[in-house]
C-alpha cells in the first residue's frame, strides 16, 4: 500500500475513536489560554496581520482575552419571531386592543395599506422556572429551560425589510458582501478539529432561507471562513464524495499517482511553501471525508436521545436532527454551528395565531432538548447557544385582503427584537431590558445588533475592535465604525 493510502488508514483509526472534545481542549487549552505570554504572542500575531492581507489559516488561534465559550450554536430564527406573542407580554396592548394606532408608526410599517388596529396576543403567558421568566404557552418546552438562559427583550435593528435586516444581523451591515459572525469567529479563533470545517451551516432540507448562501458568506475574508453546508442525508458536504462510479481501489490508485507526481514536481521546486500546502489539502480532503461522515452518523445515538430531540416525530424530526447534529459537531471541536429554517416560518404576516404556533411546534422541543443534552454532557459550560431572528413584529395587526381580523398577522418591526442566549459565560435565568407599554420599541437597556455581536465576541475571548482586517484603507470589523458596548448584564 502506498504512502498516502497508509496515511489515510492512520486517520481512519484516529477518527473512529475520536478524542473527546474535553481532552482535545485540555491539550490545546493549557498551551494556548493560560499564560500571559501566549496572550501577548496572540496579540502580536494580530498586530502583524494588521499590516498585511488577511490570514487564511484555520489552525486554532489564541483568544485575545480568556474565553468563556469555545463554540457557538446559533439557532437562527429567520423571519422575525413575534416578541409580544412569545416573551414580552403587554397588558396595555390587551387593554387597547382594537384601538387605531397606525398613524403613530406609519413610517415603520412595511405594508401600510394592510395595517390594522392594535392587536393583543392570542397566546397566554405565565411565569416559568425558578426565575419567573414570562414565556407564552406557544413554547412549553422552552418554558422548562428558562433558568439556563438570558433573555434580551430590548434588541433592535435598523431596517425593517428582511434582506437588509438579515445582512445586518449576520454581518453587522445592512448591505451584501461583509463577512458574517461565524466567519469572523472562525477567522479570529480558527478551529480545533482540522478534519471538519470551522463553521458549519445546517440549513433546512426543505429549502434555503431568504438571502440564501449570503447568510453565511465570508465576504471579503478568504473563502475558507465561509459557512460550509452540511446535509443530513446523502453526501454531507458538497463534493465530499465521488459524484461518479468507480471502484474504491481505482480511486486510491489515482490519488496515489497524484501524490507521487506532486512530490516529484515539488522536489524540483524547493522552497515553495505553496506546493506543500497544496499537497496537504489533498490529504485533508481525504480525512474530511471520514470525519464528516462520522459526525453525521446518528445511529451512534441512543433511542432516548433521538426521542428527546423529537426525531421520532414527523413535525420535529427535521429540526431535531439538526439540533442533534449541532451537538455532535460542537463535541468534535467545530467552532461555529448555525441552524436555519427554510424560507421564513416566523414571518407571520397572516394568521399569527396558527402560524406562530406551528413554527414553535417545529422547533420548541428540539431546542429544549439541545439545551438539556448540552447540559447533561457538560458541554453547555463552554458552548454558547444563541436563539433569535433578524427583527421583531408590530403591535398592530396586519389584515388579510378580506380584512378578517381573526386571520390577522403582524408586520415587521425593527424597533424591538427578543432573543436569548445560554451557556458559556452567560448569566442564567435573567431578563434584560424592556419595550414600551405596547411592545413597539425597545426603551430600556437597548441592545443594538453591534452590541449583541460585541458581546458574543467577548464571550469567545475576542474583542470587536482588535478583530479586524485591513481593506482598502479601512480597518474592517464586524461592528464597523460603531462603538458598541459589551452587554455586561448578561454575563455570568
Partner 1 sequence: MKYWLTTKLRTLAAWGIVSIISIHQSMGSAVCQETNLEKEKPEPTVEQNERSLIFEKDIRPFLEKKCVSCHGNSKQSADLNMASGSSLLKGSESGPVLVAGTPEESRLFQAVRDGHMPPEGNPALSDSEVTLLHRWIQEGAKFSNQPGSSVAVTDQQVIPILFLRCVPCHGGRRAEADLDLRTLSGILKGGKSGTVAVPGRPSESRLIQRIHAEEMPPRRQLVSVSVKTVESGELKILEQWIAAGMPKSESGPDTATTEPDRLVADDDRSFWSFQPPQLVSPPILSDADKGLNRIHNPVDQFVVERLKMAGLSLSPEADRRTLIRRLSFDLLGLPPRPEEVTAFVSDTRPDAYEILVEQLLHSPHYGERWGRHWLDAAGYADSEGSQNEDRIRPEMWRYRDYVIRSFNADKPYDRFLHEQLAGDELADYENAGEVTQEIYDNLVATGFLRTAPDRTFANITNFVPDRLEVIADELQILGSSVMGLTLHCARCHTHKFDPIPQRDYYRIAAVFKDAMDEHDWLGPEARRLKFVTTQERSEWEQSEQQISRRVEELQEQVKATSDEEAMKKLQEQIRQTEAQRRPEPMIRALWSRGQPSPTFVLKRGNYLTPGVQVGPGVLSVLTDGKTPFPVQPPWPGATTTGRRLAFAKWLTSENHPLTARVMINRLWKHHFGAGLVKTLANFGKTGEAPSHPELLDWLAREFVRSGWSIRQMHRLMVLSATYRQCSDMTTDRLSKDPENRLLSRMPMRRVEAEIVRDSLLFVSGQLDATQFGPPDDVDVRADGLVTAKGTEKGSRRSIYVLHRRTKLPTILETFDSPQMGPNCIERGESTVAPQALHLLNNAVVYGLAGKFAERVRAEAGDSPEERIFRVHELAFGAAPENDELTAGLDAYHRLLQQWQQKFEDQQQQLTEAPQRALQNYCHAIMNTAAFVYVD
Q: Interface with partner 1 includes 27 (CB under 8 A)? A: no
Q: Interface with partner 1 includes 271 (CB under 8 A)? A: yes
Q: Which residues pair with 419 in a beta bridge?
A: 152
Part of the chain binding partner 1 (CB under 8 A), chosen from 125-133, 182-190, 238-246, 427-435: 238-246
In which element (H, E) is residue 413 found?
A: strand 412-413
Binding residue (CB under 8 A) for partner 1 from 1, 12, 41, 238: 238
Q: Interface with partner 1 includes 282 (CB under 8 A)? A: yes
Residue 386, C-alpha cell as written in the block: 444563541
Residue 11, CB-side half-sphere exposure with 13 Å CA sphere: 21
Task: Report how far residue 390's alpha carbon sits from residue 443's, in angstroms, rounded to the nearest whole number.
Answer: 18
| Rounded least distance, CB 254 to partner 1, Å | 5
| Rounded least distance, CB 383 to partner 1, Å | 25
Binding residue (CB under 8 A) for partner 1 from 13, 269, 303, 488: 269
Binding residue (CB under 8 A) for partner 1 from 66, 98, 132, 223: 223
40 within 8 A of 180, measured Cβ to Cβ: no
Q: Interface with partner 1 includes 256 (CB under 8 A)? A: yes
452 within 8 A of 487, measured Cβ to Cβ: yes
172 within 8 A of 470, measured Cβ to Cβ: no
Q: Per-residue x/- marks for partner 1, 115-134, CB under 8 A?
A: x-------------------
Burial grade of 445 (CB within 10 A; 0-12, 13-18, 19 or more): middle
User: At 434, is the secondary structure helix, strand, or coil?
Assistant: strand
Q: Interface with partner 1 includes 360 (CB under 8 A)? A: no
Binders of partner 1 among residues 154 to 183 (CB under 8 A) are 160-164, 167, 174-178
Binding residue (CB under 8 A) for partner 1 from 37, 234, 304, 488: 234
Q: Interface with partner 1 includes 485 (CB under 8 A)? A: no
| Rounded least distance, CB 203 to partner 1, Å | 9
| Residue indicated by cell numbers 462520522 | 294
Please count the residues of the chain.
Answer: 492
Part of the chain binding partner 1 (CB under 8 A), chosen from 28-36, 226-234, 434-442, 445-453: 226-234
**What is the size of the binding site for partner 1 (CB under 8 A)?**
82
| Rounded least distance, CB 275 to partner 1, Å | 6
| Rounded least distance, CB 215 to partner 1, Å | 10
Q: Which of 448, 453, 478 is nearest to 157 (CA)?
A: 448
| CB closer to partner 1, 129 vs 400 | 400
- Positions of E strands within 66-177: 71-76, 115-118, 125-128, 133-136, 149-155
| Rounded least distance, CB 74 to partner 1, Å | 19
| CB closer to partner 1, 95 vs 242 | 242
Burial grade of 439 (CB within 10 A; 0-12, 13-18, 19 or more): buried
Query: Are β-strands 133-136 and 125-128 bridged in parallel, bridged antiparallel, or unpaired?
Result: antiparallel
Q: Per-residue x/- marks for partner 1, 83-102, CB under 8 A?
A: -------------------x
Q: Interface with partner 1 includes 4 (CB under 8 A)? A: no
Task: Report how far residue 165's alpha carbon sits from residue 121's, in angstroms, rounded to the nearest whole number.
Answer: 24
Vertex 190, ends 187 and 191: CA angle to 5°? 140
Residue 256, C-alpha cell as written in the block: 496515489
Binding residue (CB under 8 A) for partner 1 from 18, 129, 140, 222: 222
DSSP tag of 418: E
| Rounded least distance, CB 70 to partner 1, Å | 23
Vertex 386, ends 451 and 441: CA angle to 5°? 50
| CB closer to partner 1, 36 vs 481 | 481
Binders of partner 1 among residues 455 to 484 (CB under 8 A) are 472-474, 481
| CB closer to partner 1, 266 vs 305 | 266
| CB closer to partner 1, 67 vs 409 | 409
Part of the chain binding partner 1 (CB under 8 A), chosen from 239-247, 354-362, 363-371, 434-442: 239-247
413 within 8 A of 386, measured Cβ to Cβ: no
What backbone phi and psi angles, to 5 degrees, belong to 298? -75, -5
- Cα separation of the two ends of the chain: 54
Query: Are β-strands 474-477 and 468-471 bridged in parallel, bridged antiparallel, or unpaired?
Result: antiparallel
| CB closer to partner 1, 281 vs 406 | 281
Task: Report how far residue 126's alpha carbon sits from residue 116's, in angstroms, rounded to the nearest whole number.
Answer: 27
DSSP letter for each residue of 50-70: HHSSPP---S----SS--S-S
Binding residue (CB under 8 A) for partner 1 from 16, 36, 130, 246: 246
Binding residue (CB under 8 A) for partner 1 from 41, 106, 307, 315: 106
Q: Interface with partner 1 includes 12 (CB under 8 A)? A: no
Residue 405, C-alpha cell as written in the block: 381580523
Part of the chain binding partner 1 (CB under 8 A), chosen from 36-44, 129-137, 230-238, 413-421: 230-238
Binders of partner 1 among residues 34 to 63 (CB under 8 A) are 53-54, 56
Farthest-apart Cα atoms in the chain, separation: 82
Residue 153, C-alpha cell as written in the block: 427583550
Q: Interface with partner 1 includes 110 (CB under 8 A)? A: yes
Binding residue (CB under 8 A) for partner 1 from 229, 407, 446, 485: 229
Q: Interface with partner 1 includes 261 (CB under 8 A)? A: yes
Q: Interface with partner 1 includes 302 (CB under 8 A)? A: no
Amino acid at each position: 500500500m502506498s504512502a498516502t493510502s497508509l496515511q489515510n488508514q492512520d486517520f481512519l483509526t484516529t477518527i473512529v475513536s475520536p478524542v473527546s472534545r474535553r481532552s482535545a481542549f485540555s491539550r490545546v487549552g493549557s498551551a494556548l489560554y493560560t499564560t500571559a505570554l501566549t496572550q501577548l504572542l496572540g496579540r502580536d500575531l494580530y498586530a502583524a496581520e494588521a499590516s498585511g492581507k488577511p490570514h487564511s489559516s484555520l489552525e486554532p488561534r489564541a483568544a485575545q482575552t480568556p474565553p468563556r465559550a469555545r463554540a457557538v450554536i446559533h439557532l437562527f430564527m429567520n423571519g422575525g419571531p413575534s416578541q409580544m406573542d412569545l416573551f414580552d407580554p403587554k397588558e396595555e396592548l390587551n387593554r387597547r386592543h382594537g384601538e387605531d394606532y397606525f398613524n403613530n408608526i406609519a413610517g415603520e410599517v412595511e405594508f401600510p395599506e394592510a395595517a390594522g388596529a392594535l392587536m393583543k396576543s392570542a397566546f397566554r403567558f405565565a411565569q416559568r422556572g425558578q426565575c419567573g421568566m414570562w414565556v407564552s404557552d406557544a413554547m412549553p418546552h422552552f418554558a422548562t429551560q428558562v433558568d439556563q438562559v438570558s433573555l434580551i427583550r430590548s434588541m433592535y435593528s435598523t431596517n425593517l425589510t428582511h434582506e437588509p435586516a438579515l445582512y445586518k444581523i449576520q454581518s453587522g451591515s445592512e448591505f451584501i458582501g461583509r463577512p458574517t459572525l461565524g466567519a469572523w469567529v472562525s477567522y479570529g479563533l480558527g478551529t480545533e478539529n482540522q478534519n471538519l470545517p470551522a463553521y458549519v451551516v445546517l440549513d433546512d432540507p426543505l429549502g434555503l432561507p431568504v438571502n440564501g448562501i449570503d447568510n453565511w458568506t465570508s465576504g471579503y475574508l478568504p473563502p475558507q471562513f465561509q459557512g460550509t453546508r452540511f446535509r443530513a442525508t446523502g453526501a454531507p458536504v458538497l463534493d465530499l464524495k465521488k459524484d461518479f462510479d468507480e471502484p474504491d481501489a481505482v480511486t486510491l490508485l489515482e490519488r496515489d499517482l497524484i501524490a507521487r507526481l506532486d512530490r516529484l514536481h515539488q522536489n524540483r521546486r524547493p522552497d515553495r511553501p505553496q506546493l506543500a500546502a497544496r499537497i496537504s489539502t489533498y490529504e485533508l480532503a481525504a480525512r474530511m471525508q471520514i470525519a464528516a461522515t462520522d459526525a453525521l452518523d446518528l445511529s451512534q445515538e441512543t433511542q432516548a436521545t433521538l426521542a428527546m430531540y423529537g426525531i421520532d416525530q414527523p413535525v420535529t424530526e427535521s429540526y431535531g436532527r439538526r439540533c442533534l447534529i449541532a451537538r455532535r459537531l460542537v463535541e468534535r471541536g467545530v467552532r461555529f454551528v448555525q441552524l436555519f429554517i427554510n424560507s421564513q416560518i416566523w414571518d407571520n404576516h397572516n394568521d399569527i395565531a396558527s402560524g406562530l404556533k406551528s413554527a414553535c411546534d417545529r422547533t420548541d422541543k428540539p431546542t429544549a432538548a439541545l439545551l438539556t443534552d448540552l447540559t447533561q454532557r457538560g458541554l453547555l459550560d463552554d458552548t454558547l447557544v444563541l436563539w433569535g431572528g433578524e427583527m421583531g413584529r408590530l403591535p398592530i395587526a396586519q389584515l388579510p385582503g378580506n380584512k378578517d381580523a381573526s386571520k390577522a398577522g403582524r408586520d415587521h418591526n425593527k424597533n424591538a427584537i427578543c432573543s436569548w442566549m445560554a451557556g458559556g459565560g452567560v448569566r442564567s435565568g435573567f431578563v434584560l431590558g424592556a419595550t414600551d407599554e405596547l411592545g413597539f420599541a425597545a426603551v430600556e437597556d437597548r441592545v443594538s445588533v453591534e452590541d449583541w455581536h460585541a458581546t458574543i465576541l467577548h464571550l469567545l475571548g475576542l474583542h470587536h475592535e482588535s478583530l479586524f482586517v485591513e481593506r482598502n484603507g479601512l480597518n474592517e470589523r464586524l461592528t464597523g465604525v460603531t462603538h458598541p458596548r459589551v452587554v455586561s448584564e448578561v454575563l455570568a
